[in-house]
Amino acid sequence: MRKYKFLGTPTWLGWFALCCVAAVLCLYLAHWQMSRNDHLVAENAKISNNYDASAYDSARGIPLFQDYDDSRTWHPVQLRGTYLPEKTVLIRNRPHDGRVGYDVLVPFRTVEGPVIAIDRGWIPTDDSANGMPSAVPPPPSGTVTVTARLRPTEGTVDRGAPEGQAASIDLPAFAEHWGGALATGGYGELIAEDPPASVTPQAGERPAIEYGPHLSYSLQWYAFAVLVFVAYGYSARQHVKNLEWDRAYAAEVERRLAQYYDAEGNYIGEMDESLIIRQLQMADDMPAHLKSLYRPKRRRASTGVSNEDEEDALLDALEAEHRH
């Protein structure tokens, strides 16, 4: 293992530290992608378990609008009470089928007392290009039985809106205008009304169950965290090979120089010494990928005499004869 002592040098320790940093970053990104995948799995589970479930009655459902339970998102709830149409609010910038429109949000006072915000559906903007809806379908009057799905309150959006409109379904903000009886944890997305209205806004579509590529991305980042150290080990091994090749190359150069210089360093060759020096300089100035071609190739161990040995012996004999 002595040939790997260079791993303890500052340069290689620095490379190892860089690999550790890169691996930690890869693990962080892997965890981030995995958390996104877990979130999608949880959201899909809510849709699968709750969307088509039997509706809760008002006794069980009304408290969920105030103390919202995220695991009950999309679950139907049946309520009984009266709409307050004079307090209708249009939620702006709601896309549907490639068009922009509004969600119609109307407070609904239950017979038990609490007020629940009901999203009655989507209406398009007017074709007059003024950005306003042409008409807002009114809810049914009198006592109504409403079936709606649980949805959580949305966050505050830093955008203004005209009177009677809002940028998001921010229930705590609506409570200031609709009164303290409003449940601020969640609102209902309308499924059905009994009796029905003559005209009803377009109902929301069933949410799609999608998992996305997050799991595969996470596994890729875990693989990258391992490959960082594989690359480091491969580089170290290649460095050892390069050192071995360099030593073999230096030995070959020394063997060739021995033909032209004696033990005291005196030039004894027949060619002009400057030519010999120039040949060595040219080889030394070559790029590494070309210079490696001049390095001697490793020979397989053999007990017999190889063709290369015979050729070298023949060349040495011819050179000796030429000198005499």
For every residue of 242-300, DSSP letters joined together read: HHHHHHHHHHHHHHHHTTTB-TTS-B--SS-HHHHHHHHHHHHHS-HHHHGGGSPPP--
Long-range contact set of residues 291-296: C-beta below 8 Å, sequence gap at least 24: 292/245, 294/249, 295/245, 295/246, 295/248, 295/249, 295/252, 296/248, 296/249, 296/252
CA atoms within 13 A on the CB side of 166: 22
Extract the tokens encoding 291.
Answer: 């210079």
CATH of the domain at 57: 2.40.50
Same domain, 46 and 68: no
Same domain, 127 and 176: yes
Same domain, 47 and 66: no
Residue 91 exposed, middle or buried by CB count within 10 Å (0-12, 13-18, 19+): buried
In whole angstroms, give the CA distance from residue 268 to residue 278: 17
Same domain, 105 and 181: yes
Task: Examine residue 28 and state whether it is found in any structural domain, yes or no.
Answer: yes
Same domain, 190 and 59: yes
Task: Enumerate residue ranges in the chain where pLDDT < 50.
Answer: 293-302
Same domain, 176 and 110: yes
In whole angstroms, give the CA distance from residue 289 to residue 46: 60
Domain count, the chain: 3
Task: Examine residue 204 and state whether it is found in any structural domain, yes or no.
Answer: no
Same domain, 78 and 150: yes
In whole angstroms, give the CA distance from residue 70 to residue 47: 12
Instruction: Specify the pLDDT at position 310.
Output: 57
Q: Where are the alpha helices (DSSP H) in the chain?
A: 10-50, 58-66, 171-178, 214-257, 273-285, 288-291, 307-323
Task: Examine residue 57 and state whether it is found in any structural domain, yes or no.
Answer: yes
Same domain, 45 and 141: no
Same domain, 118 and 145: yes
Instruction: Specify the pLDDT at position 276.
Output: 73
Extract the tokens encoding 182.
Answer: 């409003």
Asked whether the beta carbons of 87 and 137 are under 8 A apart, the reply is no
In whole angstroms, give the CA distance from residue 281 to residue 276: 9
Contacts with 142 (C-beta within 8 Å, 6 or more apart), sequence order: 82, 195
Query: How does strand 165-166 pair with strand 89-96?
Result: parallel
List 83's β-bridge partners, or say none.
108
Structure pTM? 0.66
Task: Examine residue 66 and state whether it is found in any structural domain, yes or no.
Answer: yes
Task: Examine residue 200 and state whether it is found in any structural domain, yes or no.
Answer: no
In whole angstroms, give the CA distance from residue 219 to residue 235: 24
In whole angstroms, give the CA distance from residue 72 to residue 61: 10
Q: DSSP letter string over 79-108?
A: EEEEE-GGG-EEEEEEEETTEEEEEEEEEE
Same domain, 86 and 180: yes
Same domain, 27 and 56: no
Expressed as residue numbers, the domain containing 265 is 258-324
Task: Examine residue 210 and state whether it is found in any structural domain, yes or no.
Answer: no
Task: Examine residue 280 and state whether it is found in any structural domain, yes or no.
Answer: yes
Q: Which residues of 212-240 are buried (b: 16+ CB within 10 A; e: fewer)?
A: eebbebbebbbebbeebeeebeeebeeee
Task: Examine residue 252 and state whether it is found in any structural domain, yes or no.
Answer: no
Residue 164 exposed, middle or buried by CB count within 10 Å (0-12, 13-18, 19+): exposed
Same domain, 43 and 57: no
In whole angstroms, give the CA distance from residue 103 to residue 204: 10
CA distances from 78 to 23, 92, 138, 233 (A): 52, 27, 20, 64
